[in-house]
Amino acid sequence: MNNLFTFNDTIAAISTAQGASGIGIVRLSGKEALEIVDKIFLPKDMAKPSDFKSYTLHYGWIVAGCRRKPNIIDEVLLTVMRAPKSYTREDVVEINCHGGIVSLRSILELVLANGARLAAPGEFTKRAFLNGRIDLAQAEAVLDIIQSKTEASLRLSNEQLKGALSDGLNNIRKSILDILSLLEASIDFGEEEDATKTKNGRLTSRIRSINNQLKQVLDSASIGRLLREGVSVVICGRPNVGKSSLLNALLKEERVIVTPIAGTTRDIIEETLDIRGIPVKIADTAGIIEPRDLAEHEAVNRARRYFGKADLIVLVFDASKSLTKQDKILIRKINSRPAIAVLNKIDLPLKIKKADLKPYFKKIVELSALKLKGIGALEKALLDMVLGGRPIEAEPAMISSLRQKDCIVRAFNFCAEALNLAKCGWSQELIAESLKGAICSLDEITGRKVSDDLLDKIFSEFCVGK
C-alpha cells in the first residue's frame, strides 16, 4: 500500500457494485468517521451521529451546505458500528442510499471533502487483519467469498472465514512448538546417551505424525484450487460439427447462434458452468480451418490460442460423417493433452464409432446436442478427467490458493528434513532449526510473519470498498 497512506486516516469508499440498483452503500472507517457524518447527515430527530449507540440504524438525509437551508443529496439510512466491535475494529459508518451512480458519487465526494480519504483496494479488510480481528487466511477467504462461482466454493470460503484452516494449522504449529520446547530443554540440560536415543525414538514418531498432518492438508490443495479457480475447457473441432449446439446444451439456454452454415462462430464465446460444484469456464471456438478472409483468420488464431492454454479439450466430431482430413489433423494436435472426444449427432445414421477413436482418447462420449441426449454423460466425463476419481467434498481445513500451497510445501519439507536429521542422529540444534523453518512457513499463511510487499499484493486483488 502507498507509503503516504497511514492507518490513522479515516477512509471511505463505495462498497456496492456501481450501476443502477435498489440501494448502494458508502462505507467509512476510522476515528473521525462519526465526526465526518455529523457534518453531512441530517437525522429526522435532529440528533448527532456521534451520539448514536453502536449497532443502530437511523433515518435521515445526506445534505450539503448550511443546515438551515440544506441541499439534500439523498434520503438514506445510516448505520453506526463503534470500535472495537466492527468489521475493522474501528468506528465504522455505512450510508445506505439509493443505488444510482450519481447519488453514490455525490455522497462519497461529500464525505471526502469533509476529511476522509479514498480507501485503497481491500483496505477495510486489511485494517481488519492488522487490527487482529481476522488472520491472513481469513482475509483471503473474504475475497474468495466475493469471487465464488458455485455453492461448493462458497462453502469452502465460508469455512476458511470461520477459521477452519487457521485452526487446523495452529494445532499443527502448537505440536511443533511442543517438540521445540522439549528439544531446547534437552539442549540446555543435556542427557545420557541411552536417554538421548530413547528420546530420539519418540521425537521421530512425533515429527512423522506432524508430517502426515501436513500431507493431508497438502493433498487438499488440488480440490481446493479447483473449487476456487475452476477449470478451463475449450470446445473445438472442424466447422459445423455442432460445437455451438453443444455449448447451448450444456448451458441449457440458446446462448450461441446456430445455423447450418459452416463458420457461424467467429469470436470466442465464454461461459462458466457449475458442474456438481466445480466452476467450469467453457469456451466455444471457431472451427479450425484454413481461413478464407481476415475475420476468419483472426477467429482461427484465437481458437488456436485457447486450444493451447486450456486445462481440458473437448474435441467434437460429426458422427454422421466419416473422419475427415481436418479431424485427423486435430487429433494429432492434441497429442498427449487431456482431452475428451465427443461423437455428436448420434440421432443420425452413424459413420464414426467409438472404436475408431479409442487409440487416441481415454474418454469418448456419444451424444446428440440437438436432442439433448448424453449431456449428463459428458458432464460426468468432464468431472472424471478433472478430479481423477477424487471426491469433490470440501474438507474443513482445505487450502485453496497457490500461495497457501507453497507455504505448506515448505513446511512439509522442513519437517521432512527434521525427521531425516532425527533418524540419522544429528544434533538436536539442527533438528530444532528445521522445525523453526516449518513454523515460519505456517506463519506466512496466517500472517503472523508476512512482508509488507506480500500484504500489498494480496489486498490489491480486492475491490475498493471491501
Stated as kind and residue range, the H or E segment containing 85 is none
C-alpha cell of residue 35: 465526526
Tell me whether residue 205 is exposed, middle or buried, using C-beta atoms within 10 angstroms of its C-beta: 0 to 12, 13 to 18, 19 or more: exposed
Check whether 196 is labelled as a binding-site residue.
no
3-class SS of residue 236: strand
User: What is the C-alpha separation between 13 and 23, in angstroms, rounded?
Assistant: 15
3-class SS of residue 231: strand
Strand partners, 57: 79
Check whether 388 is labelled as a binding-site residue.
no
Check whether 446 is labelled as a binding-site residue.
no
SS3 content of the chain, % helix, strand, coil (to 5): 45, 20, 35
3-class SS of residue 313: strand
Check whether 264 is labelled as a binding-site residue.
yes
Closest among 244, 307, 312 to 275, alpha carbons compared: 312
Check whether 244 is labelled as a binding-site residue.
yes
Backbone dihedral region for residue 374 (phi beyond 0: left; psi -120 to 50: alpha; all else: beta)? left
Check whether 311 is labelled as a binding-site residue.
no
User: What is the C-alpha separation between 399 and 213, in angstroms, rounded?
Assistant: 13
User: What is the C-alpha separation between 251 and 378, in angstroms, rounded?
Assistant: 13
Check whether 27 is labelled as a binding-site residue.
yes
User: What is the C-alpha separation between 52 and 146, in angstroms, rounded?
Assistant: 31
Check whether 252 is labelled as a binding-site residue.
no
Check whether 260 is labelled as a binding-site residue.
yes
Check whether 308 is labelled as a binding-site residue.
no
C-alpha cell of residue 329: 489433423
Check whether 10 is labelled as a binding-site residue.
no
Check whether 265 is labelled as a binding-site residue.
yes
Q: How far is CA 431 from CA 357, 411, 414, 428, in A?
A: 55, 14, 9, 5
27 and 13 Cβ atoms separated by less than 8 Å: yes
Check whether 396 is labelled as a binding-site residue.
no
- From the DSSP assignment, how many helices (H) and strands (E) are in the chain? 16, 13
Check whether 466 is labelled as a binding-site residue.
yes
260 and 268 Cβ atoms separated by less than 8 Å: no
Check whether 413 is labelled as a binding-site residue.
no
3-class SS of residue 262: coil
Closest among 164, 171, 173, 119 to 144, alpha carbons compared: 164
Check whether 85 is labelled as a binding-site residue.
no
Check whether 377 is labelled as a binding-site residue.
no
Looking at residue 207, its amino acid is I
User: What is the C-alpha separation between 156 and 246, in angstroms, rounded?
Assistant: 30
Binding residues for (6S)-5-formyl-5,6,7,8-tetrahydrofolate: 27, 94, 133, 466
Annotated binding site: 27, 94, 133, 240-245, 259-265, 284-287, 466
Enumerate the known binding-site residues for Mg(2+). Answer: 244, 265
- Residues contributing to the annotated binding site for GTP: 240-245, 259-265, 284-287
Q: Which residues are annotated as a binding site for K(+)?
A: 240, 259, 261, 264
